[in-house]
Amino acid sequence: MMSNNDILELHDKHFKKFITREQIHDAVKRLGAQITSDYNASEVVFVVVLKGSILFATDLIREVNLPCRLEFIRAESYGTGMHSSGKVNVTHYTGMDLTGKHVIVLEDIVDTGLTVKQILAHLEEMNPASLKIATLFLKPEVCKGTVSTHYVGFEISPLFIVGYGLDYNELGRNLADVYILHETP
């Protein structure tokens, strides 16, 4: 990984700094306050979608002042690279019982909305009391209202981003800022 402040190289691509860690921090704080106020002291189960949502989840739950539980699932939709395979495979890591619980799915990014739609269908079968989605990034021009995203950090253009949990072929998840694909450095 080569880096000169605002441009970095991952595998065969260049990326340019797009959203700073300070902006992310502010958005996460805002979402945490909103969730705290909306759930009015009720217990919430956060279902963290691995791997990309891990940084978002660990920061967000510290901004939520409610009794909360954590569960983990994995949804694989992008095999490799930047294009969706169209197929989503959902795996559980914990013996979840969501019956009668208030559930918030924590997603890193909603692009076409196919992944989160299938996650919702899967979790609805467990009869939660309520089921909402919090996503740090949303590409509204791509998902065009396929799913209702209740808590959104940033609405972005339909370009590929990395950092803060999001990868390009598994690299870039550890970046504190978010970078966008930039072909000519």
The residues of the shown chain that bind ligand 5GP, judged by CB under 6 A, are 52, 77-78, 84, 108-115, 160-162, 166-168
Q: Judge whether 12 counts as a catalytic residue.
A: no
Q: Which CB sits closer to ligand 5GP, 19 or 162?
A: 162
Q: Which CB sits closer to ligand 5GP, 39 or 108?
A: 108
- Smallest distance from ligand 5GP to CB 25, Å: 20
Give the three-state DSSP class for 158.
coil
Q: Which residues contact 116 (CB under 8 A, 6 or more apart)?
A: 49, 105, 107, 110, 133, 135, 147, 149
- Smallest distance from ligand 5GP to CB 32, Å: 21
Read off the amino acid at residue 167.
D
Which member of 6, 97, 108, 111 is catalytic? 111
Q: How far is CA 133 from CA 9, 10, 105, 171, in A?
A: 32, 30, 5, 26
Q: Which CB sits closer to ligand 5GP, 104 or 109?
A: 109
- Smallest distance from ligand 5GP to CB 96, Å: 19
Q: What does the alpha-carbon distance between residue 43 and residue 60 come to, in Å, rounded to a whole number? A: 15
Q: What does the alpha-carbon distance between residue 130 and residue 123 come to, in Å, rounded to a whole number? A: 10
| Residues recognised as catalytic | 111
